[in-house]
Amino acid sequence: MFGKPKNHRSRIVIAPSSVMDEIAAHISRYTTTDGLVFSSPNGHPLRGTNFRKGVWRHAVEELAEVAPQLSNLRIHDLRHTAASLAISCGANIKAVQQMLGHKNASMTLDVYGHLYTEDLEALADRLDERYRGAA
């Protein structure tokens, strides 16, 4: 999508190489002169409303055929999933903050901090290993 983010600062969007491979394959199948991932039939950028109606809705309908519980999936849910996965992979809060474009880490913690508590048992195990190794 084109336009300034809410915080008016540009950012780099990261993705695993496997996702980038899929995006590159999609772009090569649906060639556009600008390298847009999704474009209108005439090759121009899609407006948000057109993306939701023309691309997103159809993708969610197809997804719902195999995963009915995702029939109401919103675009913003992908953002939450990406943040949750990053946290579960051990990303530090500053990295997640930058990935999401939050102005400060406290905002990220306010929204996603509850996910860090799931790691408390693993943290206790690592502390125990460190303690036993030092003894």
The conformation of residue 68, written as its DSSP 8-state character, comes to G
CA distance 77 to 72: 10
Query: How many other C-beta atoms lie within 10 A of the C-beta of residue 96?
Result: 22
Q: How does pLDDT run across 22-35, given as a tens digit for each residue?
A: 988 988 887 767 77
Q: So what's the pLDDT on residue 69? A: 96
Mean pLDDT value of segment 87-99: 88
CA distance 36 to 109: 33
Amino acid letter, 90: G
pTM for the model stands at 0.69
Mean pLDDT value of segment 12-25: 88
* Phi, psi angle pair for 45, to nearest 5°: -60, 145
